[in-house]
Structure 1
């Protein structure tokens, strides 16, 4: 397996992988991605900005995709029922964001999703970011398990602006990396 930047020649295969993801979400009764999102234009934009990644199988064929970048996520500015682990100023993100994670249906449960999260953590450290942030639908239990297994903490709830009539609330997760991860955590409530 090899993770690499997505190219425009991967576009049709990426859309097939996303269709697999859409079907998997529907099978779980999740309304996420059941409209037109993520549209081809969104993926083209990811590729053009060099934010799209794919994971190739042993034959060099993409079997997973995601968007991974160090940039502000507007929808992450407001969080309820909790707080982010790290602070970030608008216009000056201190985190890597991960979106649009999908694995081909015949390649699920093979550690590919974890490799995308590992790449995001590596990129965050390389760029001097404090953390990786990601969100997932409240009904997406498999993704929540993957995130928690890979060291992400559930921080609260955010609302996405592109829900297309689906549930806009998403569970917000964050994983600290580098120096931020090694700092001793302060308790939220003083112990007596």
Structure 2
């Protein structure tokens, strides 16, 4: 069994929870996908980091069954989002996304924190279907919002398969992450220049 990846390997820079979920299984084209949701611990970290649930939400019930449900939802959303970026998703896949999105989300309450500020909490420990539905609903909102949909971009990295929301000034963001794919491209460009520099024939 592959070693579990630490929660800090998770990425939350795509701009939407549904796209952050896709990034947990994203990889470089032509290679085996990188699996970042390798166990319940990573799924708990992702749910909190992506803002699917408020901080402090009880997630003790997260188990291998939850992991399988989120993997399946990710595969479906990956297919729908990528197909919509390029053209039109299959109706059967949209129906499956809609069915997931129709599940009621966990009730969120406003409560006083120790310092008197209002913070979000859930009325009860959420179940898996409700949280999968929350992510599916985010995808529905993204794909049906003309402004947000117009900001969808595929990473310009030659070997990257990730999709992100470009909210940068002038819509000039090129990579899913400047630190990852952007840096990789800069290194590759430097190497190409070095190879083609003076003295090379």
When the two structures are superposed, what TM-score results if normalisation uses the length of structure 2? 0.24
When the two structures are superposed, what TM-score results if normalisation uses the length of structure 1? 0.25
Q: Which structure carries more strand by proportion?
A: 1
Q: Which structure carries more helix by proportion?
A: 2
Larger-Rg structure? 2
